[in-house]
């Protein structure tokens, strides 16, 4: 994600590319997997504030990295290279290892992709319109949103039944 992908004036994030690192350690910009992956994701006020803080606290690199004409990557590694998914997975793995050394109740593995599933499930459980959720997630097929990314358990069904019963 680059600074220019965040459109504060319209409270939205433009999603029209993805950063990848090849097995040869080369950075490339690719289009999202599907046409539905190209979208604008609305930002809440809290998300907007968070991004403003990230940009304000972003350390200026010695040389601004450029990948296929894109500059201003929000997150850079210790070598001033743009961070990719693997960076975040390792970062989260390290946090979980530290946590599990301290606390008896162990935390399970969490990845950025697990966070995507959690977001989708939470939005579905909150009552978000499924088509809106499909759009935000960038899924071409609603069945991916509802059958792959949304996870519901007995307690969720019980809570929903009580909600419907009392309304």
Q: Are residues 55 and 113 in the same domain?
A: no
Q: Which residues touch 2 (CB under 8 Å, ≥6 apart)? A: 70, 71, 72, 73, 74
DSSP state of 61: P
pLDDT at site 163:
86
Handedness of CA 130, 133, 134, 135 (dihedral sign): positive
Q: Are residues 98 and 23 in the same domain?
A: no
Residue that terminates a domain, selected from 82, 104, 119: 82
Average pLDDT (108-133) is: 95
Mean pLDDT, rounded, of the chain: 95
Residue that terminates a domain, selected from 29, 60, 82: 82
Distances (CA, A) of 15 to 1, 81, 145: 8, 20, 18
Give the integer Cα–Cα distance in Å for 90 and 21.
15
Q: Are residues 97 and 38 in the same domain?
A: no
Token readout for 44 is 């809440």
**Per the structure, how many domains does the chain have?**
2
Q: Are residues 92 and 158 in the same domain?
A: yes
Q: Give the pLDDT band (50/70/90) at residue 167.
A: confident
Q: Are residues 50 and 108 in the same domain?
A: no
Q: Are residues 95 and 20 in the same domain?
A: no
Average pLDDT (30-37) is: 94
Q: Are residues 69 and 97 in the same domain?
A: no
At 64-79, the pLDDT tens digits run: 999 999 999 999 999 9
Tell me which residue range forms the domain holding 3: 1-82
**pTM for this predicted structure:** 0.87
Q: Are residues 59 and 75 in the same domain?
A: yes
Give the integer Cα–Cα distance in Å for 33 and 125.
26
């Amino acid at each position: 994600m680059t600074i220019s992908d965040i459109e504060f004036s319209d409270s939205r994030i433009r999603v029209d590319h993805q950063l990848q690192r090849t097995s040869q350690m080369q950075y490339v910009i690719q289009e999202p997997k599907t046409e539905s992956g190209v979208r604008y994701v609305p930002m809440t006020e809290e998300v907007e504030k968070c991004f403003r803080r990230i940009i304000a606290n972003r350390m200026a690199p010695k040389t601004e990295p450029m990948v296929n004409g894109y500059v201003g990557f929000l997150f850079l590694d210790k070598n001033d290279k743009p961070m990719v998914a693997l960076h975040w997975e390792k970062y989260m793995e390290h946090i979980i290892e530290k946590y599990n050394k301290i606390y008896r109740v162990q935390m399970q593995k969490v990845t950025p992709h697990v966070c995507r599933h959690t977001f989708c499930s939470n939005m579905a459980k909150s009552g978000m319109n499924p088509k809106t959720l499909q759009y935000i997630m960038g899924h071409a097929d609603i069945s991916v949103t509802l059958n792959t990314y949304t996870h519901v358990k007995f307690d969720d069904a019980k809570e929903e039944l009580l909600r419907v019963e009392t309304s």
